[in-house]
A and B are shown apart, each in its own frame.
Chain A
Amino acid sequence: MRPAPAAPSPNPYDLHAATIVEKVRVTEDIDTVRLQLVDPAVRRSFRFQAGQFNMLYVFGVGEVAISIVSDPDEPQVLDHTIRAVGRVTKAIRGMGLGDTLGVRGPFGRGWPLHDARGKDVVVVTGGLGCAPVVGAIDYMFRRREAYGAVTILHGIKTPRDLLYRERFEAWRRHADTTVLLTSDQPDKTWHDHVGVVTELFEQVAIDPARTVVLMCGPEIMMRLGASVLMQRGVPATALYLSLERHMECGIGLCGHCQMGPYFLCKDGPVMRYEQVAPFLGRPGV
Chain B
Amino acid sequence: MTPIERPSAGPGLLPKSSFQLLLDALQSQGYRVMGQRLHDGAVKWDDIRQVSDLPVGWRDVQEPGRYRLEPSDSGRFFEVVNGPESVKRFAFAPREPLLMIERSHKSFRATPTLPQVEKTALLGVRACDLAGLAVQDQIFLHDAYPDPYYQARRENLFLVAVNCARALSTCFCASMNTGPKAQAGFDLALTELEDAVLVEAGSQTGQDLMQRLPLSPASDRPLAEAEAQMEACAKSQTRRLETAQLPQALYDAHEHPRWDQVAARCLACGNCTMVCPTCFCHTVEDAPDVTLQRTEQARVWDSCFTQEHGYIHGKNIRPAIKDRYRMWLTHKLASWVDQFGTSGCVGCGRCVTWCPVGIDLTEELPALLDKER
Q: Do chains A and B touch in the complex (CB under 8 A)?
A: yes
Question: Interface centre among A12, A59, A254, by most B CB within 10 Å?
Answer: A59
Q: How far apart sit A15 and B311, CA to CA, in the bound complex (Å)?
A: 24
Surface stretch bound by B, among A111-119, A169-177, A240-248: A240-248
Q: Is the CB of B295 within 8 A of A10?
A: no
Number of interface residues of A (CB under 8 A): 44
Q: Is the CB of B107 within 8 A of A100?
A: yes
Q: Which residue of A lies closest to B314 (CB)?
A: A85
Residues of A within 8 A of B322 (CB): 284
Surface stretch bound by B, among A60-68, A192-200, A202-210, A225-233: A60-68
Question: Which parts of A15-48 form the interface with B (CB within 8 Å)?
Answer: 15, 17, 19, 38
Contact of A59 among B283, B295, B320 (CB under 8 A): B295
Residues of A within 8 A of B251 (CB): 260, 278
Residues of A within 8 A of B244 (CB): none
Residues 91-110 of chain B: 1 if any A CB is under 8 Å from the residue's CB, otherwise 0? 00000001101010011111
Number of interface residues of B (CB under 8 A): 53
Smallest CB separation, A157 vs chain B (Å): 15
Q: How far apart sit A266 and B145, CA to CA, in the bound complex (Å)?
A: 11
Contact of B106 among A63, A85, A100, A278 (CB under 8 A): A100
Residues of A within 8 A of B110 (CB): 14-15, 17, 102
Residues of A within 8 A of B335 (CB): 258, 260-261
Q: Which residue of A lies closest to B325 (CB)?
A: A284
Q: Which residue of B lies closest to A5 (CB)?
A: B144
Residues of B within 8 A of A60 (CB): 101, 286, 288, 292, 295
Q: Which residue of A lies closest to B323 (CB)?
A: A284
Q: Is the CB of A282 within 8 A of B108?
A: no
Q: How far apart sit A100 and B148, CA to CA, in the bound complex (Å)?
A: 26
Q: Is the CB of A14 within 8 A of B284?
A: no
Asked if A94 CB lies within 8 Å of chain B CBs, one says no
Q: Is the CB of B112 within 8 A of A255?
A: no
Q: Is the CB of B283 within 8 A of A100?
A: no
Q: Is the CB of B108 within 8 A of A284?
A: no
Residues of A within 8 A of B101 (CB): 15, 59-60, 102
* Interface SS majority for chain A: loop
Q: Is the CB of A17 within 8 A of B107?
A: yes
Contact of A248 among B103, B283, B288, B310 (CB under 8 A): B283
Residues of A within 8 A of B284 (CB): 62-63, 248-249, 254
Contact of B310 among A17, A246, A261 (CB under 8 A): A246
Known: A258-B335, A283-B323, A284-B323. A13 touches B99 (CB 8 A): yes
Residues of B within 8 A of A245 (CB): 312, 317
Asked if A189 CB lies within 8 Å of chain B CBs, one says no
Q: How far apart sit A12 and B338, CA to CA, in the bound complex (Å)?
A: 24
Asked if A161 CB lies within 8 Å of chain B CBs, one says no
Q: Is the CB of A38 within 8 A of B312?
A: no
Q: Is the CB of B112 within 8 A of A13?
A: yes
Question: Interface centre among B107, B280, B285, B326, by most A CB within 10 Å?
Answer: B107
Residues of A within 8 A of B107 (CB): 17, 19, 38, 100
Residues of A within 8 A of B299 (CB): 254
Q: How far apart sit A282 and B317, CA to CA, in the bound complex (Å)?
A: 10
Smallest CB separation, B103 vs chain A (Å): 7
Q: Which residue of B lies closest to A250 (CB)?
A: B145
Q: How far apart sit A284 and B284, CA to CA, in the bound complex (Å)?
A: 23
Residues of A within 8 A of B285 (CB): 62
Known: A85-B313, A254-B282. A59 touches B108 (CB 8 A): yes
Q: Which residue of B lies closest to A85 (CB)?
A: B313
Residues 49-71 of chain A: 1 if any B CB is under 8 Å from the residue's CB, otherwise 0? 00000000001111100000000
Q: How far apart sit A139 and B311, CA to CA, in the bound complex (Å)?
A: 31
Smallest CB separation, B294 vs chain A (Å): 9
Q: How far apart sit A61 and B251, CA to CA, in the bound complex (Å)?
A: 37
Q: How far apart sit A14 and B144, CA to CA, in the bound complex (Å)?
A: 15
Known: A62-B284, A261-B335, A284-B327. A11 touches B112 (CB 8 A): yes
Residues of A within 8 A of B147 (CB): 12, 253
Q: How far apart sit A98 and B106, CA to CA, in the bound complex (Å)?
A: 8
Q: How far apart sit A8 and B142, CA to CA, in the bound complex (Å)?
A: 12
Q: Is the CB of A251 within 8 A of B144?
A: yes
Asked if A263 CB lies within 8 Å of chain B CBs, one says yes
Q: Which residue of A lies closest to B273 (CB)?
A: A255
Smallest CB separation, B23 vs chain A (Å): 35
Residues of A within 8 A of B312 (CB): 244-246
Asked if B309 CB lies within 8 Å of chain A CBs, one says yes
Contact of B108 among A85, A102, A244 (CB under 8 A): A102
Known: A252-B143, A255-B281, A255-B282. A17 touches B109 (CB 8 A): yes
Known: A5-B144, A100-B106, A261-B335. A14 touches B281 (CB 8 A): no
Q: How far apart sit A282 and B318, CA to CA, in the bound complex (Å)?
A: 11
Asked if A256 CB lies within 8 Å of chain B CBs, one says yes
Residues of A within 8 A of B292 (CB): 59-60
Residues of A within 8 A of B47 (CB): none
Q: Is the CB of A254 within 8 A of B283?
A: yes
Q: Is the CB of B108 within 8 A of A100?
A: yes
Contact of B145 among A8, A61, A98, A282 (CB under 8 A): A8
Q: Which 8 A-B pairs have the closest CB atoms?
A: A261-B338, A284-B323, A255-B281, A60-B288, A12-B145, A261-B335, A251-B145, A15-B110
- List 10 other contacts, CB 8 Å, given A255-B280, A261-B334: A5-B144, A12-B147, A14-B112, A246-B311, A248-B282, A248-B284, A251-B144, A252-B145, A255-B282, A260-B338
**Can you list 5 residue pairs at the A/B interface with Cβ under 8 Å?**
A62-B284, A62-B286, A100-B107, A244-B312, A260-B251
